[in-house]
């Protein structure tokens, strides 16, 4: 009976530890959907010692150059996805990978989608953590119609949002 009680206590403590915010998630996923609600890809976010590796698997995105950002709110209400808010920017920096006063933590390099609309890439973001992205209001991955110019504040002059996925 004592062994059973010890095992139950150990299981309860382990369960509480895993549910604790001190034990941050090591993986998250964002399913990207277009304004019509059609799934167009998935981003798997993996915690690594130097930040977060984003494994991007796009299946039906318009070809061309697109801005690829992490946005501050975990909402993707179609058709414009403005519910995702601005870029994830906990340090309140200016926008742009080429801006001396930037970049936002959510700024990432443009992606270049081929004619078939499919792309598999990995992007390292050293300015975020999975725990930070899963804060009280969450976060989202957003693709824009055009490329980020890497300098215009606050969003890189990338045009409308064409796909969005809540980080979960």
User: Does domain 24-166 correspond to CATH entry 2.60.40.200?
Assistant: yes
The region, left, alpha or beta by phi > 0 then psi within -120 to 50, assigned to residue 100 is alpha
Q: What is the pLDDT along the chain (168 residues), one digit of tens a residue?
A: 444 443 333 343 444 444 434 445 799 999 999 999 999 999 999 999 999 999 999 999 999 999 999 999 999 999 999 999 999 999 988 888 988 888 989 999 999 999 999 999 999 999 999 999 999 999 999 999 999 999 887 777 899 999 999 999
pLDDT of residue 10: 36
pLDDT of residue 21: 43
Residue ranges of domains in the chain: 24-166
pLDDT of residue 1: 47
Angle at 160 between CA 159 and CA 165, to 5 degrees: 125
Phi first, then psi, for residue 12 (nearest 5°) are -65, -45
């Amino acid at each position: 009976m004592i062994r059973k009680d010890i095992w139950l206590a150990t299981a309860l403590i382990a369960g509480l530890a895993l549910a604790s915010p001190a034990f941050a998630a090591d993986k998250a996923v964002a399913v990207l959907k277009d304004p019509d609600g059609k799934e167009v890809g998935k981003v798997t976010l993996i915690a690594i010692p130097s930040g977060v590796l984003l494994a991007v698997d796009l299946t039906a995105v318009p070809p061309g150059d697109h801005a690829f950002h992490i946005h501050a709110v975990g909402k993707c209400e179609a058709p414009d996805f403005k519910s995702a808010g601005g870029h994830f920017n906990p340090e309140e920096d200016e926008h742009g990978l080429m801006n001396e006063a930037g970049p936002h933590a959510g700024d990432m390099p443009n992606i270049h989608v081929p004619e078939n609309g499919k792309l598999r890439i990995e992007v390292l973001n050293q300015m975020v953590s999975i725990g930070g992205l899963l804060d009280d209001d969450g976060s989202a991955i957003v693709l824009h119609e055009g490329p980020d110019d890497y300098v215009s504040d606050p969003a890189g002059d990338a045009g409308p949002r064409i796909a969005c996925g809540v980080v979960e």
